[in-house]
Structure 1
Amino acid sequence: MIEMKRVSKVYSNGTRGLNNINLRIEQGEFVVIVGLSGAGKSTLLRSINRLIEISEGDIVINNQSITKAKGNELYRIRRDIGMIFQNFNLVKRSTVLRNVLSGRVGYHSTFRMILGLFPKEDKKRAIDALHRVNIAEKAYIRADQLSGGQQQRVSIARALAQGSRFILADEPVASLDPLTTNRVMNDLRRINQELDITMIVNLHSIELARKYATRIIGMKQGEVVFDGTAEEATDDVFDIIYARSLDVDMPRSAGE
């Protein structure tokens, strides 16, 4: 369970990126967050694992406040949260297997990781994760020899090898062609359904949101303006979410 309690983010220039967000996301949900660029989607997503520090409120992960956590406690909470980026975030000169194994660094000492001393159990977990996304045959190929879609599936495998209970995906298919987009989204949905891993995905595409989400959250200018099922997300709802007119009582956001 992830709970956001009265969460706000104010940037150093005074711009409000999030405004009084109250959300509860249950285990096993497939949540898609939609909205215009600058609506606050990425700010919300990155605040969950503290890539961005919030200004007000509290974020609770499985009954533990990640907002207040420090040191080893913060480290342990973050191990449960996998992150998938639009640009894949891989070490391009390393093999696919080594990139997936990097998801295990939170479980071992820095010294062991510098030397690349991963136990056999970790290597088996990494190969199993690659099988999950149908790319195990690429394990010993350098990441920069893969297509964009294959690289994104490596990043999904890395989150699986990490042992994530939650996966946050920030525009994971924005740079992919339509066919590859559907393959990656199908992987995420299958993992969600088979492993009961909670998915929180930022998307621009209305069609993808309706196709894959069990729940859609619409954001506009740092606020949640819709929260419901894909069936409830009608064309009228999306017109409201994507309306470009600025209401005088709505704060501007600093960016994603």
Structure 2
Amino acid sequence: MIEFHNVSKVYSNGTKGLKNINIKIYRGEFVVTVGLSGAGKSTLLRSINRLHEITDGEILIDGQSITAAKGKELRHLRRDIGMIFQSFNLVKRSTVLKNVLAGRVGYHSTLRTIFGRFPKEDVELAFRALDRVNILEKAYSRADELSGGQQQRVSIARALAQEAKIILADEPVASLDPLTTKQVMDDLKNINQEFGITTIVNLHSIDLARDYATRIIGLHAGEIVFDGPVEEATDEKFAEIYGRSLQEEEFLGVAAK
């Protein structure tokens, strides 16, 4: 379980990224957060693994405060959280296999990982993760030789090899075409269902949110304005989230950024 208790974030320029957030996200949920750019989606997501530090409040993961964690405790908590970025965040000159093995870094000493001395079990785990997202044949290709969709599937494989209990995906399909978008979202959903990995995805697309989420959280100006199951996310609710009525093409595709 991920718990937000009175969480707020104020940036150095005075901008309020989050305003008194109180939510619980339960194990195995597939949560999609929606809202305009600047609504606080990325801040909310990245505060879970402390890529963004909050200003007030506390975030608990399975009862442990990641907000207060330091040193070894923080590393162990982060080890259970896989992160998927819009820009893939791969080492482009390295092979796909090495990029997936990066998910094992948190389990070994710094010296071992610098020299790439991963045990056989880790390599086998990486191969299984690549097979799970259907790009095993690309294991020895350089990451920059892959298409955008393939690169994003490498980042999903990396989270699988990490044996993450939570996957955070920040606009993972924003730069992908519709067919590849479906493949990536299908991978995330299938992994969520098969392994029970709690998955939180930031999206702009309303249709994708409805198709894949078990729960939708709507943010507007740093505040939660909707939190409920997909069936309650009506057109009227989305209009409240986005602060205006939406055009038909926005429901069919991607809401304005």
* Distance in 2 separating the partners of 1:93 and 1:244: 44
Map of 1:53 onto structure 2: 53
TM alignment of 1:93-112, pairs within 5 A: 93-112=93-112
Q: Does 1:29 align with 2:29?
A: yes
* Distance in 2 separating the partners of 1:242 and 1:55: 25
Q: Does 1:165 align with 2:165?
A: yes
Name the SS of the counterpart of 2:128 in structure 1: helix
Instruction: Find runs of 4+ consecutive structure 1 residues off by over 3 angstroms.
Output: none
Map of 2:213 onto structure 1: 213
Map of 1:178 onto structure 2: 178
* Distance in 1 separating the partners of 2:24 and 2:16: 21
Map of 1:91 onto structure 2: 91
* Distance in 1 separating the partners of 2:142 and 2:190: 26
Map of 2:251 onto structure 1: none
Map of 1:7 onto structure 2: 7
* Distance in 1 separating the partners of 2:166 and 2:226: 22
TM-score, structure 2 length as denominator? 0.95
Q: CA deviation at 1:244?
A: 5.1
Map of 1:250 onto structure 2: none
What is the identity, as a one-letter code, of the residue corresponding to 1:69?
A: A
Q: CA deviation at 1:14?
A: 1.4
What is the identity, as a one-letter code, of the residue corresponding to 2:198?
A: T
* Distance in 1 separating the partners of 2:154 and 2:228: 31
Map of 1:69 onto structure 2: 69
TM-score, structure 1 length as denominator? 0.95
Map of 2:230 onto structure 1: 230
Map of 1:192 onto structure 2: 192
Q: CA deviation at 1:13?
A: 1.3
- 1:53-83 Cα offsets, whole Å, 9 max, x none, are 0000000001100000000000000000000
* Distance in 1 separating the partners of 2:76 and 2:113: 17
Map of 2:240 onto structure 1: 240
Q: CA deviation at 1:46?
A: 0.4
* Distance in 1 separating the partners of 2:192 and 2:131: 15
Q: CA deviation at 1:15?
A: 1.3
Q: CA deviation at 1:243?
A: 1.4
* Distance in 1 separating the partners of 2:112 and 2:81: 22
* Distance in 2 separating the partners of 1:118 and 1:192: 26
Residues 73 and 158 (structure 1), Cα distance of their counterparts in 2 relative to 1, 3 Å cut = same
Percent identical among aligned pairs is: 74
CA RMSD of aligned residues (A): 1.0
* Distance in 2 separating the partners of 1:243 and 1:224: 13
Q: Which has the higher contact order (CA 8 A, sep 6+)?
A: 1
Unaligned runs of 5+ in 2: 246-256
Name the SS of the counterpart of 2:18 in structure 1: strand
* Distance in 2 separating the partners of 1:64 and 1:129: 28
Aligned length: 246
